[in-house]
Structures are given as C-alpha cells and as structure tokens.
Amino acid sequence: MVQEETPTVQPEQPQPQRQRQRRPRRPRRTRRQAAVEMMPLARRADELGMTTASLRRYVNLGAVNGQSQKRGNRIFVSTDLVVTSPRARGRRASAPSEAMAMGRRVSVTRETGETTVSVEVNLDGQGESMVQTGDLMLNHLLGQIARHGLIDLAVDAVGEELPDNHHLVEDVAIVLGRALSEAIGEGRGIRRMGSAIVPLDEALAMVAVDVGGRGYAVVDAKLEGTQVGSLSGELIGHFLERLAIEGGVNLHVQVLRGSDPHHKAEAVFKALARSLRAAVEEDPRAAGAVPSTKGVIG
C-alpha cells in the first residue's frame, strides 16, 4: 500500500505592522487665547479707518476676510479681519481723520437691550444707499430719502426677540435724526429751510422743513388705519415724529390727496427728501454764515 503524504503546513509568518506616522498635535487653543483673537467691531473699524456702520455693513454682506461672531446685539471680529470690497479699500487709503472730515459725514451707533442701530450720513453725497433694517418697506422708504435727497445713507439695524417692528422703526428714526443733526452741525452757509410738493399717481404730498434745531412735527399723512406693506400707517407717522424731534427739524407733512396707502407714504418720503436736500444745501450768498438772527441754531 502506498501511503499518502500529508502536506506540510507552513506556519503563517506574522506580517510586519506598518508604523503609523503620527502627526504633530496642534496645541489646543484655550478660551483665553480664542478671546484674544477677537475684538469689538467698532475697534477694528477704527483700526481700518472706517466707520462702525460701514464695517458692520460689509460684515453683514460677507464682503470680508476674517471671522465674526454675534454676541447678543454686539458683533466681534477677528483681529486680522479685512474688507474685500474694492470701494472700501479705496476709502481706507485715507487716514481716519481725513475720511471723517470729507464733507458733512457722520456715523452714529446706538445699542439698547432690544436693538442695535448704526447710521452713516453724508449730506454731500450722490444719493447712494445701503439700508438693512430687516423690514423691506422701511428699507424702501429710507432709500427714497437717500436717492431724492442726494444724501448718501447707510443704515444697519438688528433687533432681538421683538414682538413687532415698532421698536425697530422707532430706534431707526432716533438714530437717523441724531445723525442728521450732527451732520448739519452749526449749519453755516446752508439754506436751512426747504419744501416740496411731490406727486405719485393719484397721491400728492407736501412737506416743509426747517433744520434750525427746533424739533417739532405736524403730520397729516392720512395713513391712520391703513397698512403700507409691513408697516402700519400709524407707525410711519410715528417714525416721522421721532425723526423730527431727534434731528432738531421742524417738520410739516400733509397729504393733499390720494387713495393708495403705498403711494401716499412714498410721496411723503420723496417730498421729505427734496425738502431736506434744499434745506441743507449751501447758499452761495451766505457762505459761512449761520442762518439765524440769533447767530446760532440747534
């Protein structure tokens, strides 16, 4: 008999284990280190030679390189944050003092427990506007002031857990009024008073202003009980009243005729824009003179 040979089984050779190359661990960033890398938006704006309103606007538009964080109503940005907009880079070429000294340009920011509002006004502008309030109708109406008043206007407003838009609209009016007042300043060489009658389809609105520092408003816009987009007619009237008081403007508004609430409101704001434009324009016959027999306005 032939015996079958039993195959010899070779024991498995252990495979050499690949040694993993450990990457060097990055040092953990402590909370204190992370906080050092962030700074208030206003401080970074000052370093860049910009107004707070301008930098806040570019951050909201995403036209920046760098990080930003919102804490409550305040915005913090990384210490190396820069603006990528070519327009803003051109502005930063000037020193901060020179930038603010150009024309009658003013930036005002107001923070409360409910809202944060930043407004930048340039009375010697071209009518450019960048308005972000969170309310489309308010954005639209403010845009009329800029375009037809030839006032460069930047408005950035945010609210926290507001039950309605009353406080937001009111606070925008407060800050815009204060910005106008500061931009007018002593009012040397301006005409001081202006008026306009503006039609819009079937609506006709008349507005007269005196920017002499006596804040007072008489508003007959015939908007009570109406709705203008997202705004009630009463709230538009309240906006005009607060704007006049905070801006030191004697404001008279009357809608002479009209049926469409939107047309009436827009005609009012266009007439307001034309009135302000006439009032703050320089009078070549009164260069450098304060437009008051008292020698002072405000």
Residue 105 lies in a domain: no
- pLDDT (tens digit per residue) in 160-169: 777 888 999 9
Residue 61 maps to which CATH number? 1.10.1660
Residue 46 lies in a domain: yes
CA atoms of 132 and 186, how far apart (whole Å): 30
Which is more confidently placed, 296 or 220? 220
Report pLDDT for 210.
97
Tell me: pLDDT of 92 over 80.
no
Residue 234 lies in a domain: no
Residue 73 lies in a domain: yes
Domain count of the chain? 1
Residues of the domain holding 44:
36-91
CA atoms of 273 and 23, how far apart (whole Å): 64
Residue 142 lies in a domain: no
- pLDDT (tens digit per residue) in 220-250: 999 999 999 999 999 999 999 999 999 999 9
Q: Where residue 93 falls among pLDDT bands split at 50, 70, 90?
A: very low
Tell me: pLDDT of 120 over 70.
yes
Which is more confidently placed, 61 or 173? 173
Report pLDDT for 73.
62
Q: Where residue 173 falls among pLDDT bands split at 50, 70, 90?
A: very high
Residue 61 lies in a domain: yes
Residue 52 lies in a domain: yes
- pLDDT (tens digit per residue) in 184-197: 999 999 999 999 99
CA atoms of 141 and 263, how far apart (whole Å): 11
Assess contact for 243 and 251: CB atoms under 8 A.
yes
User: DSSP string covering 99-156, please?
Assistant: HHHTTTEEEEEEE-SSEEEEEEEETTS-S-EEEE-S-HHHHHHHHHHHHHHT-EEEEE
Lowest mean pLDDT among 7-16, 117-126, 137-146, 232-241: 7-16
